[in-house]
């Protein structure tokens, strides 16, 4: 019984210590291509929450492809990264607006990949 409790405690600690905040919406299918990829990084400052807004297509540009999947990968594996949200557009649309927000006192490091079909 003690061994089972010890093993479950170790599994819980391992699961809590290696959390990332990835966001996956949709699934790229056959014929879909990467239409947009960007790395967004901001340093952390004590007691400050950092945020950033990514718009696709960038202002002044036009997009002909329909978005089939959005993958926002958190490159901070220890759980100290930020939180991504889709605030406008997304899968099935021709535009997307992604908001990135850090935890208080930390920065963030995200890789945003958008798949689409022409």
**Nearest residue to 56 via CA among 88, 32, 80:** 88
Domain membership of residue 63 as a residue range: 20-117
Domain count, the chain: 1
- Position 79 in a domain: yes
Query: Is the per-residue pLDDT at 116 higher than 90?
Result: yes
Looking at the chain, the whole-number percentage of residues with pLDDT higher than 70 is 85
Compute the mean pLDDT over every residue in the chain, rounded to the nearest whole number.
Answer: 88
In a domain, 84, yes or no: yes
Is 14 part of a structural domain of the chain? no
Q: Is residue 13 part of a domain?
A: no
Residue 8 lies in a domain: no
pLDDT at position 16 over 70: no
Average the pLDDT over each of 23-27, 39-43, 79-83 and give the range with the smallest value.
Answer: 79-83
């Amino acid at each position: 019984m003690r061994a089972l409790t010890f093993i479950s405690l170790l599994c819980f600690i391992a699961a809590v210590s290696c959390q990332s905040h990835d966001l996956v919406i949709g699934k790229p299918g056959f014929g879909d291509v990467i239409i947009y990829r960007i790395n967004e990084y901001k340093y952390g400052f004590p007691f400050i929450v950092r945020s950033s807004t990514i718009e696709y297509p960038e202002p002044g540009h036009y997009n002909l492809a329909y978005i089939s999947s959005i993958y926002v990968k958190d490159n901070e594996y220890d759980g100290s990264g930020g939180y991504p949200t889709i605030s406008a557009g997304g899968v099935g649309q021709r535009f997307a607006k992604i908001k990135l927000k850090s935890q208080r006192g930390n920065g963030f490091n995200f890789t945003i990949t958008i798949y689409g079909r022409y």
